[in-house]
Amino acid sequence: MASISLKNIVKRYGTGKAAVPVIHGVNAEIKDGEFIVLVGPSGCGKSTLLRMIAGLEEITGGELWIGDKVVNNLEPAKRNIAMVFQNYALYPHMSNYENMAYGLKLAKVPEDEIKRRVDKAAKILELSHLLDRKPRQLSGGQRQRVAMGRAIVRQPQVFLFDEPLSNLDAKLRGQTRIEIQKLHAELGITSLFVTHDQVEAMTLAQRMIVMNGGNVEQFGTPEEVYHTPASTFVAGFIGSPPMNLLKNAPNGRQGQILGIRPEHIDLVEAGGWEFMVETVELLGAERLLYGKVGGEDVTVRVEEGQPYPKPGETARISAREDRLHWFHAETGKRI
């Protein structure tokens, strides 16, 4: 296992005046054994950053440390990392055992050691009864576990996951998230996991790096990112539904944006703000009310069993004073 240190990491495509910057000086210290999630919208640079750590993309500037070594110019095979991709990348003509063992055979690991490692990984991932089958005989979730097993048997210093759950349906994604959590708890290997899904990020991360336009917007625990977002971008990206951001909130501050999460707004009989309900979304144990306050979009979360207004009706709402967030109107940064 190993720590990872990103020191002013820069990535540009092209040279000279035609160079296009895509990663703008990323700094992060990742502890030995941590599970870190890189999260952000498509095109924010998260997969590019992961590929630079893997050695699949050249680093334009800065230093990348894995353990006690600068690895900028080290080939991927010499970085002692294992990567799990979105598309599984399994050989269809090989059995699952052969897929998991293939990298070790290339490295000329003795056959008895290969068997020991594959059997151990298969037991952890509950794949022992499927080792003789081919990948086409497995479900998507089982194939992803074979891909993870192939990474485990290498006994790397670092695991890198590049959106590995994207091809799975919602139920399988949930199940595989739990399996990944159990896997990390058992192996304790430093892990970086890329996703655009903020629910995955919140449930998997010990700490998360929220990226936007090639920059780190915030690096912290899920609780820190959710409860004290560093910017309007983080506030609007993390959370389902996202935080309400009001530029012209009643009783607001000049030059500032008010942020308030939907669960921190209450329906009241008098006072507060006038809220015109447009639509209602029923989600089992809760209701989401979508409407307007002073012409701005606002979402209110209502618990099951609590009376709520219907579409077209007007209600009064009140934001909890101890749950307000204020951001600079021009920079979007937290005040």
Domain segments of the chain as ranges: 4-234, 243-328
Predicted pLDDT of residue 8? 97
Q: Which residues lie closer than 8 Å to 324 by C-beta, 6 or more apart?
A: 258, 259, 260
Predicted pLDDT of residue 74? 94
What pairing do the DSSP bridges indicate for beta strands 20-30 and 4-13? antiparallel
Q: What confidence category does residue 284 fall into, taking pLDDT thresholds of 50, 70 and 90?
A: confident
Residue with tokens 């058992």: 186
Residue 71 contacts residue 5 (beta carbons within 8 Å): no
Sequence-ordered strand ranges (E) for the chain: 4-13, 20-30, 35-39, 61-66, 69-70, 81-84, 158-162, 190-195, 207-212, 215-220, 244-246, 256-260, 265-268, 273-282, 286-293, 296-303, 314-319, 325-328
User: Which residue blocks in 153-266 are alpha helix, DSSP H?
Assistant: 170-187, 198-204, 222-227, 232-237
Given a cut of 90, is residue 305 above it in pLDDT? no
Given a cut of 90, is residue 176 above it in pLDDT? no
Mean pLDDT to the nearest integer, 218-245:
96
Q: Which residues lie closer than 8 Å to 217 by C-beta, 6 or more apart?
A: 40, 210, 211, 230, 231, 233, 234
Output b/e per residue, 136-163; b: 16+ Cβ within 10 A.
eebeebbbbbbbbbbbbbbebbbbbbbb
Higher pLDDT, 304 or 44: 44
Given a cut of 90, is residue 253 above it in pLDDT? no
What pairing do the DSSP bridges indicate for beta strands 215-220 and 207-212? antiparallel
Mean pLDDT to the nearest integer, 213-234:
97
> Of 89-98, 173-182, 267-276, which range is least confident?
173-182
pTM of the model: 0.89
Predicted pLDDT of residue 329? 94
Mean pLDDT to the nearest integer, 172-179:
84
Residue 286 class from Cβ within 10 Å (0-12 exposed, 13-18 middle, 19+ buried)? middle
Predicted pLDDT of residue 297? 96
Mean pLDDT to the nearest integer, 6-32:
95
Q: What confidence category does residue 139 fall into, taking pLDDT thresholds of 50, 70 and 90?
A: confident
Predicted pLDDT of residue 317? 96
Residue 282 has, within 13 A of its CA and on its CB side, a CA count of 8
Q: What confidence category does residue 179 fall into, taking pLDDT thresholds of 50, 70 and 90?
A: confident
Given a cut of 90, is residue 234 above it in pLDDT? yes
The H or E element containing residue 143 is helix 140-152
4-234 homologous superfamily: P-loop containing nucleotide triphosphate hydrolases (3.40.50.300)
Residue 107 class from Cβ within 10 Å (0-12 exposed, 13-18 middle, 19+ buried)? exposed
**Percent of the chain beyond pLDDT 70?**
100
Given a cut of 90, is residue 97 above it in pLDDT? yes
Predicted pLDDT of residue 135? 93
Given a cut of 80, is residue 252 above it in pLDDT? no
**Percent of the chain beyond pLDDT 90?**
77
Mean pLDDT to the nearest integer, 153-168:
88
Given a cut of 90, is residue 175 above it in pLDDT? no
Token pair, residue 266, equals 């209450």
Given a cut of 90, is residue 250 above it in pLDDT? no
Q: What is the pLDDT of residues 43-88, one digit of tens each?
A: 999 999 999 999 999 999 999 999 999 999 999 989 999 988 877 7
State the architecture of 243-328 in CATH terms. Beta Barrel (2.40)
Mean pLDDT of the chain: 93
